[in-house]
Amino acid sequence: MKKIKAVIFDWAGTLVDFGSIAPVQVFVEVFAAHGLAVTTQEVRSHMGLAKKDHLNALLQMDRIATAWQEVHGTAAGVQDVDIMYEELTPKLTELVSKFAAPIDGIPELLLALRSEGIKIGSTTGYVEEMMAEILPIAEAQGIKIDAVVNSSECLEGRPSPFMIFRNMEKLGLYHADEIIKVGDTVADMHEGVNAGTWTVGITTSGNEIGLSKEAWDVLSKETQDKLKNQAADRLIDSGAHFVIHDLRNLPSIIEEINAILEYPEN
The stretches of 148-249 forming alpha helices (DSSP H) are 162-171, 186-195, 213-217, 221-237
Q: Which of 74, 98, 122 is the last residue of a domain?
A: 98
Residue 1 maps to a domain: no
Let me know whether 134 and 192 are in one domain: yes
Last residue of a domain, one of 59, 77, 98: 98
**How far from each other are the two terminal CA atoms of the chain, in whole angstroms?**
16
For residue 247, give the nearest of 100, 49, 112, 48 by alpha carbon.
112
Please name which of 181, 173, 185, 122 lies closest in space to residue 150, comparing C-alpha atoms: 122
The reply to whether 137 and 220 lie within a common domain is yes
Q: Is residue 248 part of a domain?
A: yes
| Whether 170 and 214 share a structural domain | yes
Residue with more model confidence, 100 or 185: 185
Pair 27, 38 in one domain? yes
The CATH number linked to 163 is: 3.40.50.1000
Which CATH number characterizes residue 78's domain? 1.10.150.240
Tell me the Cα Rg of the chain. Answer: 18
Asked if 131 and 253 sit in the same domain, the reply is yes
Active site residues: 10, 51
- DSSP-assigned letters across all residues of 69-92: HHHHSS---HHHHHHHHHHHHHHH
- How much is the average pLDDT of 42-50? 95
Contact 49, 20 (CB under 8 A): no
Domain, as residue range, for 70:
22-98
Distance CA 94, CA 115 (A): 34
Q: Looking at the predicted structure, is the pLDDT value of residue 54 above 70? A: yes
Going by pLDDT thresholds of 50, 70 and 90, the confidence category of residue 264 is confident
Judge residue 122's burial from the number of C-beta atoms within 10 Å of its C-beta, 0-12 exposed, 13-18 middle, 19 or more buried.
buried
113, 93: one domain: no
Report if residue 128 sits inside a domain. Answer: yes
Asked whether the predicted pLDDT for residue 265 surpasses 70, the reply is no
Examine the domain organization and report whether 82 and 122 are in the same domain: no
Same domain, 87 and 151: no
What tens digit of pLDDT does each residue of 130-165 get? 899 899 999 999 999 999 999 989 999 999 999 999
Q: How many domains is the chain built from? A: 2
Within a domain: residue 66?
A: yes
Task: Indicate the residue among 98, 121, 140 that finishes a domain.
Answer: 98
Q: Is 11 exposed, middle or buried (0-12, 13-18, 19+ CB in 10 A)?
A: buried
Q: Is the pTM of this model over 0.85?
A: yes
Whether the CB-CB separation of 208 and 235 falls below 8 Å is answered with yes
Judgement on whether residues 15 and 66 belong to the same structural domain of the protein: no
Does 241 lie in the same domain as 127?
yes
Q: Are residues 117 and 212 in the same domain?
A: yes
